[in-house]
Amino acid sequence: MADTTLSEAKEALADYLHVVEIGGREPAAILLRSIKRFSKRCGRMEIWREVFEGHLTQEEMDETFPLIFEERFLQTHMIQFPELTWLRGSTLNTVVEHGLSLRRNDRWIIPDYQRPLVWTEEQKIKFLESLILGLPVGSYTIHRNEDYTCEVIDGQQRWNAIFNYVDDEFPVFGYKFSELNDRTKIFFESLQFPHRLVTRLTYEERVEAYERMAYGGTPHEPKF
């Protein structure tokens, strides 16, 4: 059996630390998930000890590493579903100003796999009214790239509605954005619009995520 490479072990360490940071439990299970995420083989135990040293206590290493190389543990702790790449992400309670700032700084990226814009002006206005009234409007998903640009995986139609309104293309509740007083503009930019931030996904993984979120549902038929 080929040995694990040092780069694979370092990737697994970064993945492990991220899961722990966002509230992961059961260190042995998280370690195994991270190792299996980046290596199809466990390889030599020594290389994992070398890379993880300093991030685990000696007691944790002595208890955990022998355990994860036991066949019994592999059989009972391996998750049988596909790899949980979305554990790399976190949900943040951001406001409208977050997306506006990304666009102002040329960090808002629409990838080539996104579908064309299809919302009518009426749909955009209805969404914005719901956002302003505090109704649940879901969250959007972005992928932070290595250059710190943010690639929109889910939420393009909703954000396009926000951008169109800020660009004065139509009124909402009787007012275009330029007609709002300062207090109302601050209120609008402070509206809660949470997002899911993910990193280190391959292009193929981002496309798969987009397709699952964009095309997974069945269109609603009107009742009347």
The 10s digit of each residue's pLDDT in 9-38 is 667 677 666 666 655 555 656 666 666 555
- Beta strand ranges found along the chain (DSSP E): 90-92, 108-109, 140-144, 150-154, 195-199
Residue 43 has pLDDT above 80, yes or no: no
Last residue of a domain, one of 78, 103, 131: 78
| The pLDDT of residue 166 | 97
Mean pLDDT over 81-105 rounds to 76
| The pLDDT of residue 76 | 56
Average pLDDT over the chain reads 78
Residue 144 has pLDDT above 60, yes or no: yes
Do the domain assignments include residue 200?
yes
Q: Which of 108, 125, 129, 135 is nearest to 192 (CA)?
A: 135
Do the domain assignments include residue 223?
no
114 with 208, same domain: the answer is: yes
Mean pLDDT over 67-92 rounds to 59
73 with 111, same domain: the answer is: no
Last residue of a domain, one of 78, 99, 126: 78
Q: Provide the residue type at 130 as one letter.
A: S
185 with 112, same domain: the answer is: yes
97 with 119, same domain: the answer is: yes
Entry pTM: 0.64
Determine the structural domain holding residue 30 and report its residue range.
6-78
DSSP string, 123-187: HHHHHHHHHHHT-----EEEEE-TTS-EEEEE-HHHHHHHHHHHTTSS-BTTB-GGGS-HHHHHH
18 with 42, same domain: the answer is: yes
| The pLDDT of residue 175 | 97
| The pLDDT of residue 2 | 43
pLDDT category at 1 given cuts 50, 70, 90 is very low
Number of domains the chain contains? 2
